[in-house]
Structure 1
Amino acid sequence: MQYQPQAVRPNASHEYARPSPVEKLRDEICSNSELSFLMEAHDGLSARIAERAGFRGLWASGLSIASSLGFRDANEASWSQLVESVERIVDSTELPVLVDGDGGFGNFNNARLLARKLRQAGAAGASLEDSCFPKLNSLIGDRHPLADIDEFSGRLRAVKDVVSETFILVARIEALIAGHGLNEAIVRAHAYADAGADAILIHSRKSSADEVLSFASEWGNRLPVVIVPTTYYRTPVSAYRYARISTVVWANHSMRAAAAAMRHVCDSIAAQQSVASIESHIASLPEIFDLLRYDELAESEKRYLQPR
């Protein structure tokens, strides 16, 4: 059975009620006939910048959050540190947040605990991958053992039993990363759809999109397909629209841009012992104040601090 794009239904109690984060994310991934884009965020500032740029949803990247905390993307950051980072992202923006939850940090019990805590933090959904704990970033090395299909399906069912329809669950398939091929990816996708996943994220480390496009063709749109074109970034997005891909995740680009910019600035200041040459190349303080809405604080001070 193929999913059918649906229009967002208004809240029954109020025709013009604002959609919830879950409804917003569902509209982006599951109910939108147009190709959607989620932008990586790893803290409040990167979330606010992505919102200002016009994105309609965020990807709380496991790699980027771990990197910003000084950890490697190998489950070195704990699930509680992930939740704390997501809470700051959620508090900084009105956009729905889909969280990169790795494999759920353990078995079904760890996965459902993570989902419950992420929902409490305000996340709209999570992507769980069929990897074994501890995971290693998909683009590093050759150690990528896959979870047993039935065991991972149990993780998905446990999450859905806890969060029901109040949380979007994306099942991320690592079969192509592990070198198991298209047939294995399709078998896993069907099993995860039966376990209650709302969408399928198919991941590839190839430099072309051939693998994910073949998957989309074979999958036949049973559930929405999400992709992460980190390595096959040269593929035009028109190919994804033609293949009826649902959502593209730009998964780590704000963190990588920040790292490059900070390295350049630090090298320059250390070499020149001056900031004069770089001042015009970095964000001004008024821009930072504007991003973080210092104007709202000033207006609130007039309302709450000044006597009548």
Structure 2
Amino acid sequence: MNYLVSTKQDDISAGERLRMLLRGPDIVRMPGAHNGLAALQAKAAGFKALYLSGAAMSASMGLPDLGILTLEDVLFFTRQIMRASGLPLLVDGDTGFGEVLNVMNTVQRLEEVGAAAIQIEDQVLPKKCGHLNDKKLATSEDMAAKVAAAARAPRSLVIVARTDAIADEGMERGIDRARLYVKAGADAIFPEALTTEAMFAEFAAAMGEVPLLANMTEFGRSPPMTANALQSLGYRMVIWPLSSLRVANRAQQEVYAQLARHGAVTDAIGRMQTRAELYDLIDLAGYESLDATIIASSLPQTKSSLYGDSE
């Protein structure tokens, strides 16, 4: 049951469970989950690991992705996703929430709440989405120091170093940065905003056996590629950071507009998750069985002519 899902299985840490997936034969597919309910839906679909995007967290709070989030905000989202799913979770740590000591604290705090991995990027505040223009980069030495600090913190977290340098400094310099970050202690590299399949292939060839992550965000600079295609190029992880959030946001926008126009949502009923489906997903019956004093709820009777027989 969700409430009893542990962030460990058989005393194996979340970080080690992610490493086991990375050692497996297939690319690790990580859809974005922006809250606990999305995490449950991704798990039900069969995914074995998840990604928590800084942009998704910011948007969920009605904020732009400009480094406004605090560590406490990130911990809040991480806790609910881990409590709901228990799946290995890669958390977007933006620029690490400070310098060397702050990065060590971030790593330790994320591990405490059950995260499997942290992503740190080589921008400076105010940071931007990696697919936007005019990003301000940290020096490679400063970023390497943060990576080294993350690696020294007592942890089992997988350290993923993201470089945004390729767009401004070119492929060769981006590869140089990535190699420096690996030398500093990064477990994996995330090259952001590659613009062609050939660039994905070139970067992978240059990095050899280093685990690489590919970002398949929509409406960005990178071409859409399948997980299998990325695996064939040598990538070990792929994320879809905002896919579920984008779909959910569009659906909410449409139902609010319909409600404002017509004063009812009758036309949207067929596109809704039913009460029964929601209760099954969040395991209402399982929660009630925890306490014999909780009387099991029965679904209200509805008029089939209005709502159909789906409930």
Paired AA for residue 161 in structure 1: R
Aligned counterpart for 1:25 among listed residues 18, 21, 24: 18
Matched, 1:273 2:260: no
Pick aligned residue for 1:186 from 175, 181, 194:
175
Q: SS of 1:123's equivalent?
A: coil
The percent of aligned pairs where both chains have the same amino acid is 26
Matched to 1:37, the amino acid is R
> Hey, what does 1:152 align to over in structure 2?
143
Q: Cα gap change, 1:124/1:186 in structure 2, threshold over 3 Å: closer, same or farther?
A: same
Match of 1:11 in 2: none
- d(CA) in 1 for partners of 2:50, 2:227: 18
CA drift of 1:305 comes to: 6.0
Structure 1 partner of 2:244 = 254
Question: Match for residue 184 of structure 2?
Answer: 195
Gap regions ≥5 residues in structure 1: 1-15
Q: CA deviation at 1:254?
A: 1.0
Q: Determine the C-alpha separation between the residues in 2 that align with 1:82 and 1:146.
A: 22
Q: 1:49 aligns with which of 29, 41, 58?
A: 41
Separation in structure 2 between the aligned mates of residue 247 and residue 150 of structure 1, nearest angstrom? 26
The answer to whether the 8 Å contact 1:204/1:212 transfers is: no
Q: CA deviation at 1:243?
A: 1.1
How much does 1:301 deviate? 2.3
CA deviation after TM superposition for structure 1 residue 49, in Å? 0.8
1:20 and 1:95 map into 2 onto residues whose CA distance is 11
Following TM superposition, by how much is the alpha carbon of 1:263 offset from its aligned partner in structure 2, in angstroms? 0.5
Distance in 1 separating the partners of 2:54 and 2:294? 41
In structure 2, C-alpha distance between the alignment counterparts of 1:239 and 1:292, rounded to whole Å: 34
**Cα distance between partner residues in 2 of 1:150 and 1:109:** 16
Secondary structure of the 2:63 match is coil
Alignment of 1:201-220 (within 5 A): 201-204=190-193, 206=195, 208-220=196-208
Separation (CA, whole Å) in 1 of partners of 2:105 and 2:234: 33
Shift of 1:233: 4.8
Asked whether the equivalents of residues 40 and 253 of structure 1 are also in contact (C-alpha less than 8 Å), the reply is: yes
Counterparts of 2:109 and 2:180 in 1: how far apart (Å)? 26
Q: Is 1:283 equivalent to 2:273 in the alignment? A: yes
Shift of 1:80: 1.2
What is the CA-CA distance between 1:18 and the residue it aligns to?
Answer: 5.8
* SS of residue matched to 1:170: strand
Q: Is the 8 A contact 1:138 1:205 kept in 2?
A: no
Could you tell me how far apart the structure 1 residues matched to 2:290 and 2:192 are?
46
Matched residues in 2 for 1:266 and 1:75: separation? 29
Moved more, 96-105 or 31-40: 31-40
Q: Which amino acid in 2 is paired with 1:121?
A: V
1:55-134 → structure 2 map (5 Å cutoff): 55-134=47-126
